[in-house]
Amino acid sequence: MPLLDLDPDVVATARELAARAAEPVVRIATAHTTVAVERATLRLAGITGADTTHRAGDVPWVNRVVDTVREHCGLEHGVVLPAFHALREHDLGSLTDLAEATAAGQIQYRVPAGRDAERAAKAGRVAVAKGLRTVDRNRAQRDRLITRFGDPPRRPWIYLIVATGDIDEDVVQAANAARAGADIIAVIRSTGQSLLDYVPEGATHHGFAGTYATQENFRIMRAAMDDVSKEVGRYIRVTNYASGLCMPEIAVLGGLQRLDMMLNDSMYGILFRDINPIRTFVDQRFSRQVHARAGIIINTGEDNYLTTADAVDAAHTVTVSQLLNEHFAHEAGLPDELLGLGHAFEINPKVPESFRLELAHALLARELFPDAPLKWMPPTKHMTGDVFNGYLLDGFFNLAGVLTGQSILLVGMMTEAVVTPFLSDRDLALQNVRYVLDAAAGLREDFHPAPGGFIVKRAHQVLGEAVDLLDRIVRDGLLNAIADGTFGLMKRPPDKGKGADGVVEKADGYRNPAADLLESGETK
Amino acid sequence: MSSIRPYGDTTGDGMVQTSFTLPMPPGPKAEGAAMQLANKMGIEPAMVVHSHGIGSDFTFFVVYGSVRHLVDLDAITVVEREYPLLSPAEVNGEVRKRLRRKLVVVGGCIGTDAHTVGIDAILNIKGFAGEKGLEYYRELKVVNLGAQVTVPELVKRARAEKADAVLVSQVVTQRDAHILNTQEMSAAFREAMGDRRPVLIAGGPRFDPLMAGQLGVDRVFGRGTTPGEVASYLVHAMKESKGVAA
């Protein structure tokens, strides 16, 4: 039941403005491809593994092939036509054979024409469709396991992060966390992975402040959590990060290994990793199409804005970003139930009425996106190292989550900004969550902010500011707004940033069976 | 008085509180183990006031007790702030008077570190702890390179911008990445620019201000540093260094 009495016309205007702001960017996204989109396509077509003999270390085969194709004949027509043409021309048995022959310098790629082009496109489509059917099967398998083991007994689902750097240790910590009440396990990635223009291979044991996202690590964690799901009698969801320069590939790997949620924000890479804006929007669209196909819930990153900007002054930028993320997600085929739009409890606790402001912001998100599994993120900016105060603040964060009907609750750590959490920190944090969820389980029923009162007024004000900002973005253009530092105070011009050289404008004859199959939903 | 003890509720009682986890199942033996550890830590008598199992293999303890150690105040060495704290107006005034141009500050997170929260707190106009960041100072020109800047890139930009000072922030400390990255940075500046190098400043929550020599930088700022402290230091360094003032 709505509590904020939001004006439906204002809400409709906000959505319409978001759509208009996004429209030119979607047009740019569909007119370009990137090296990462092409590599993701090859991964769906079945290439795995890496060139272990390369002097630069293990270079994934998809990188070898895409880089070589680009060098020989460009990527304007996509990688599929030249790759599958070469496969037939050289009578090779598999794409991995092709990759090895590429590395040995035996392949000269070219863009086929006429019947050759049709044949290559058809062969490519058969191979990619096979990969997508694996994604489809994983989705069905997830549904079966949820039916068998059950969903968590209540909302919000409890989301917990592990980050040891070693996938084997992660499994131990994740299993313990699930037994202690976590419903969702997120494996934080190694610092710096977002700026790698390739996906590392195999099981990894030496990450920095996190563990590398690799297909094998995904498989290990999912398999371990399947066992734990059986043990604890509820389906434990696994999360990783489709962000950075390999967004589309990681999305594919997540789909192939039955991950359940992925961090995927439309602007995070641009603002916080200084990744080229065009690269990000192209990669984001493809990755979200893959998530939609895989039934993966995306988590957006609005919490990040509040760690750099002031959480009161910038509250409306969160709303604007949520609306943009929603539009980009819908455009890529993601339904509301897969939209884990993010927001966070980051107001300075010294601000008078800070808790009421938090409630207003959280409730606004809840009522703007009633069907989205909102992700509610804990305080980080005002965690000072005083762990006792931090524990109290996390308790209020948990209470705000229950009171405003949040869907996914990321468990706050009192040792935030001090150390990577100890086993005991995580245990205490889960006790905190359990206490609040038990003690105030039904409190939402009694929570009716006074009509025209502080909370209602504040929510209206934030929505109004969001509409004004969206209006300005529509007038200036979203890319210009990003360049001007509208979000999170970061200025990111469209021609700058990392990975810009991986963006390619599509030619008229561009073919990508993965894009076709994702758009149409076909399986063959 | 040159030696003191922790204060619980009475002078000299030496009371402290600590918590830890031992990799063993809960029970009397675990409590005994916690007691033994507390005693070895100098807490005697110790009270294990709380323990509970975390899963079946670990036990968490909260311990209170009196430490027998004394703190010898005369044996403490810390870096006391060697310069006066200035207001933004005073910083601007000093820079204008001495340089007659803007003082150029280049900053970023080097290595794989993507945590810009520290450098942003110091540089972004938004600032930290109620103080505006260096971007707010009219006489400072701030170039914030953001996250994951390579050392060669940092040196190149510092040269191109004719930087008077370079600030690097390091948050990630796994396998001493913060120390190694900073040493690599300071060595690169010495190699590329010799005595004409800019003032080098490292900051991060796990740095100790005493580490400046080891890191090869001019000044280290630790946890809780505010933009005003850094700005005041820049003025101090400008006065000290003839190279900059010339």
Q: Which helix (H) or strand (E) holds A298?
A: strand A297-299
- B19 three-class SS: strand
* Chain A residues inside the 8 Å CB shell of B124: 308, 489
For residue A412, tell me if it sits in a domain: yes
Give the Å distances, CA to CA, from B157 to A253, A343, A435: 37, 35, 52
Crossing angle of helices A61-73 and A95-103, in 10° steps, is: 70
CB-based contact B183:B230 (threshold 8 Å): no
CB contact under 8 A, B126 and A310: yes
Q: What pLDDT shows up at residue A88?
A: 96
Cβ pairs bridging A and B (under 8 Å): 64
Q: What pLDDT shows up at residue B216?
A: 94
Shared domain check, A328 and A265:
yes
Shared domain check, A124 and A222:
no
Give the model's confidence band at B244: pLDDT under 50 very low, under 70 low, under 90 confident, else very high. Answer: very low
CB-based contact A87:A47 (threshold 8 Å): no
| Strand boundaries in A236-278, DSSP class E | 237-241, 261-263
Torsion angle of C-alpha atoms A69, A240, A145, A236, degrees rounded to 10: 170
Q: What pLDDT shows up at residue B245?
A: 39
For residue A61, tell me if it sits in a domain: yes
Shared domain check, A167 and A40:
no
- Which whole number is the average pLDDT over B73-84? 86
Shared domain check, A193 and A243:
yes
Shared domain check, A449 and A403:
yes
- The ranges of chain B annotated as CATH 3.30.30.60 are 3-73
Write the DSSP assignment of B144-162 as a string of letters.
E--SSB-HHHHHHHHHHTT
> What count of other Cβ atoms lies within 10 Å of the Cβ of residue A251?
33
- A446 three-class SS: helix
Name the stretches of chain A with pLDDT < 70.
55-56, 308, 417, 488-490
Residue that the structure tokens 């080229």 belong to: A276
Shared domain check, A158 and A70:
no
Query: Residue A14's closest CA among A472, A499, A471, A479?
Result: A471
Shared domain check, A159 and A123:
no
Apex B137 CA angle, B217 and A487, nearest 5: 95
- The ranges of chain B annotated as CATH 3.40.50.280 are 88-245
> What count of other Cβ atoms lies within 10 Å of the Cβ of residue B239?
13
For residue A215, tell me if it sits in a domain: yes
> What count of other Cβ atoms lies within 10 Å of the Cβ of residue A72?
15
| pTM for the model | 0.85
> What count of other Cβ atoms lies within 10 Å of the Cβ of residue A472?
16
Residues B102, A209: Cα–Cα separation, whole Å:
38
Apex A99 CA angle, A96 and A101, nearest 5: 110
Catalytic residues of A: 268, 303, 375
Q: What pLDDT shows up at residue B246?
A: 37
Give the model's confidence band at B239: pLDDT under 50 very low, under 70 low, under 90 confident, else very high. Answer: confident
CB contact under 8 A, A165 and B174: yes
CB contact under 8 A, A180 and B55: yes
Where does a domain end: A444, A459, A474? A459
Shared domain check, A358 and A260:
yes
Shared domain check, A250 and A390:
yes
CB contact under 8 A, B112 and A191: yes
Q: Which residues contact A181 (CB under 8 A, 6 or more apart)?
A: A158, A430, A433, A434
Shared domain check, A206 and A104:
no
Where does a domain end: A435, A459, A483? A459
Domain B88-245 fold is Rossmann fold (3.40.50)
* Chain B residues inside the 8 Å CB shell of A308: 116-117, 120, 124, 126
Architecture category of domain B3-73 in CATH: 2-Layer Sandwich (3.30)
Torsion angle of C-alpha atoms B136, B140, B143, B144, degrees rounded to 10: -40
Shared domain check, A205 and A239:
yes
Q: How many domains does chain A have?
A: 2
Which member of B126, B156, B162, B239 is catalytic? B126
For residue A23, tell me if it sits in a domain: no
Kindly state the DSSP code that residue A34 receives in the 8-state scheme: E
Residues B94, B89: Cα–Cα separation, whole Å:
9
CB contact under 8 A, B114 and A274: no
A40 lies in which domain range?
Answer: 32-128
Query: Residue A33's closest CA among A82, A78, A63?
Result: A78
Region of A430 (left: φ > 0; alpha: ψ -120 to 50; beta: rest) is alpha
Query: Does the pLDDT value for residue B130 go beyond 70?
Result: no
The minimal CB distance from B146 to the residues A274, A309, A385 is found for A274
Q: Which residues contact A401 (CB under 8 A, 6 or more apart)?
A: A156, A362, A376, A409, A436
Residues linked to residue B59 through DSSP beta bridges, in sequence order: B22, B53
Q: Which of B4-8, B64-68, B122-126 has the lowest mean pLDDT?
A: B122-126
Where does a domain end: A459, A491, A517? A459
Query: Does the pLDDT value for residue B129 go beyond 70?
Result: no
Shared domain check, A356 and A294:
yes
